[in-house]
Amino acid sequence: MRLSRIAAVTAAAAAMIVPFGVPAQAATPVWNIVNPNANGSFTGTGAVSAIKNPSGSLVISCPAVALTGVMPSGSNTSGYLGRLVSSNPPPCSDQAGGSWQLFIPSSMVGSSLHATGYDAAAGRTSFNGMTGNIFVVGPNCGFEIDTFSGTYTNATSTLATTSGHVRVGATSDGKPTCVGLLNDLDTITFASSFTLSPAITVTRS
């Protein structure tokens, strides 16, 4: 009799546990890209308004920058959007009038763009740029923007960046550059805005 009661209680407890089991997994978001160019290519024109070090003692601007990239049409769950391929080496300057250059070498892989969020009301995708290969060179200083954050807005076809992390270069004899300006892995302001052509649409479903 006792065993049967125990069995009944155990069965009842098991029945109660079922509704509180492992919750259903949320659906994996799907990223959808529509690019009128069959080969996925795009061009971008705009400017880098500020590359600023943490202390604000260095502010570099590049008023006219042209870049190329690839954002192929398709859907994926990885969040991969495409990549920046190359840029012209535009004339840039710092607040003291020093001459700088910013460039993405076409011989390298380029910076891959990975979606991190989506604002459906604004039609705006947040992304991280990975694999670096955005180089900045100036007086006694050379560094790479290794990773960066930004957004892409469908309505205006605008790709913008906001911040980044740097890898600081060294001279041929191993001495660090950018002394007093930047340290390796510093977080910097990386403010830029580009209008892409053709108009590309990115959504999440």
Give 107-112's long-range contacts (Cβ < 8 A, gap of 24+).
108/133, 109/83, 109/133, 110/69, 110/83, 110/84, 110/85, 110/86, 111/83, 111/84, 111/148, 112/80, 112/82, 112/83
Residue 81 has pLDDT above 50, yes or no: yes
pLDDT of residue 84: 95
Torsion of CA 34, 114, 124, 48, to 10 degrees: -110
Residue 16 has pLDDT above 50, yes or no: no
Instruction: Give the residue-averaged pLDDT of 108-131.
Output: 94
pLDDT of residue 172: 83
Residue 27 has pLDDT above 90, yes or no: no
* CB contact set of 105 (below 8 Å; sequence gap of 6+): 86, 133, 135
Residue 10 has pLDDT above 70, yes or no: no
Radius of gyration of the chain (CA): 24
Residue 200 has pLDDT above 90, yes or no: yes
173 vs 46: which has the higher pLDDT: 46
pLDDT of residue 11: 41
In the chain the first and final C-alpha atoms are separated, in Å, by 57
pLDDT of residue 171: 84
18 vs 142: which has the higher pLDDT: 142
21 vs 48: which has the higher pLDDT: 48
Exposure string of 96-114, with b = 16+ CB inside 10 Å and e = fewer, is eeeebbbbbeeeeebbbbb
Instruction: Give the residue-averaged pLDDT of 2-13.
Output: 39
192 vs 8: which has the higher pLDDT: 192
Residue 80 has pLDDT above 50, yes or no: yes
88 vs 164: which has the higher pLDDT: 164
User: Do β-strands 124-130 and 141-153 pair in parallel, antiparallel, or remain unpaired?
Assistant: antiparallel
Residue 142 has pLDDT above 70, yes or no: yes
Rama region for 58: left / alpha / beta (φ>0; ψ in -120 to 50; rest) = beta
Q: Taking the CA of residue 8 as centre, how many other CA atoms within 13 Å lie in the half-sphere pointing to its CB? A: 5
Residue 26 has pLDDT above 80, yes or no: no
> In 3D, which of 139, 160, 31 has the Cα closest to residue 95?
139
Instruction: Give the residue-averaged pLDDT of 139-158.
Output: 97
**Do residues 133 and 104 make contact, with C-beta atoms less than 8 angstroms apart?**
yes
Instruction: Give the residue-averaged pLDDT of 49-59.
Output: 98
